Amino acid sequence: MHVHILGICGTFMGGLAQLLQAMGHRVTGADAQVYPPMSDQLRDAGIELIEGWDPQQLHPEPDLVVIGNALSRGNPAVEAVLNRGLPYVSGPELLAREVLKDRWVLAVSGTHGKTTTASMLAWILEQAGMGPGYLIGGVPQGLGRSARLGETPFFVIEADEYDSAFFDKRSKFVHYHPRTLVINNIEFDHADIFDDLAAIQRQFHHLIRTVPGEGRIIVPAEDPVVEETLAMGCWTPVERIGRPGDLHARCLAEDGSHFLLQQGERTLGEVHWGLLGRHNVANALAAVAAARHAGVPVATAAEALSSFPGVKRRLELVGEVKGIRVYDDFAHHPTAIATTLEGLRRRVGDRPIVAVLEPRSNTMRMGVHRDRLAAALAEADEVVALQDPAQDWSLAEALAPLGPRARVFPSVEAILDHLVATLRPGEQVLIMSNGGFGGIHRRLLEALDGGA
pLDDT tens for 47-106 read: 999 999 999 999 999 999 999 999 999 999 999 999 999 999 999 999 999 999 999 999
What pLDDT is attached to residue 310?
A: 72
Q: CB count, 10 Å around CB of 350?
A: 7
Averaged pLDDT for residues 213-239: 96
Determine contact, residues 37/45, Cβ cutoff 8 Å.
Answer: no
Domain end: 89, 118, 140, which one?
Answer: 89
Q: What is the CATH number of the domain that holds 30?
A: 3.40.50.720
DSSP 8-state secondary structure symbol assigned to residue 96: I
- Report the range out of 37-41, 180-184, 249-253 with the highest average pLDDT: 180-184
Q: What is the CATH number of the domain that holds 426?
A: 3.90.190.20
Q: Which DSSP helix (H) or strand (E) runs through 107?
A: strand 104-109
- Report the range out of 24-38, 165-179, 303-317, 425-439 with the highest average pLDDT: 165-179
In a shared domain, residues 294 and 204: yes
In a shared domain, residues 77 and 120: no
Torsion of CA 171, 150, 297, 208, to 10 degrees: 20
Residue 117's Cβ-count burial label (10 Å; 0-12, 13-18, 19+) is buried
Domain count, the chain: 3
Does residue 95 lie within any of the structural domains?
no
Sign of CA dihedral 365, 370, 376, 382: positive
Closest CA to 266 of 293, 247, 290, 239: 247
In a shared domain, residues 121 and 265: yes
Does residue 397 lie within any of the structural domains?
yes
In a shared domain, residues 196 and 341: no
Q: Say if residue 212 is preceded by a cis peptide, omega within 30 of 0.
A: no
Does residue 441 lie within any of the structural domains?
yes
Confidence label for 248 from pLDDT (cuts 50, 70 and 90): very high
Does residue 45 lie within any of the structural domains?
yes
What pLDDT is attached to residue 107?
A: 98
In a shared domain, residues 112 and 243: yes
- Asked if the model's pLDDT at residue 319 lies above 80, the reply is yes
- Asked if the model's pLDDT at residue 179 lies above 80, the reply is yes
Does residue 357 lie within any of the structural domains?
yes
* Residue-by-residue DSSP string for 25-50: -EEEEEESS--TTHHHHHHHTT-EEE
In a shared domain, residues 164 and 230: yes
Q: What pLDDT, in 10s, does the model give residues 362-421?
A: 666 666 778 888 999 989 999 999 988 878 788 888 899 999 999 999 999 999 999 999
Does residue 209 lie within any of the structural domains?
yes
In a shared domain, residues 60 and 185: no
Q: Which DSSP helix (H) or strand (E) runs through 356?
A: strand 353-357
In a shared domain, residues 293 and 186: yes
Q: Say if residue 36 is preceded by a cis peptide, omega within 30 of 0.
A: no
What pLDDT is attached to residue 452?
A: 45
Does residue 311 lie within any of the structural domains?
no
| Residue 131 belongs to domain spanning | 102-305
In a shared domain, residues 418 and 294: no
Q: How far apart are CA 282 and CA 248, in angstroms?
A: 9
Q: CB count, 10 Å around CB of 362?
A: 15
In a shared domain, residues 250 and 327: no
In a shared domain, residues 282 and 150: yes
* Residue-by-residue DSSP string for 120-132: HHHHHHHHTT---
Domain end: 305, 335, 352, which one?
Answer: 305
Mean pLDDT of the chain: 90
Domain end: 305, 337, 369, which one?
Answer: 305
In a shared domain, residues 182 and 245: yes
Does residue 94 lie within any of the structural domains?
no
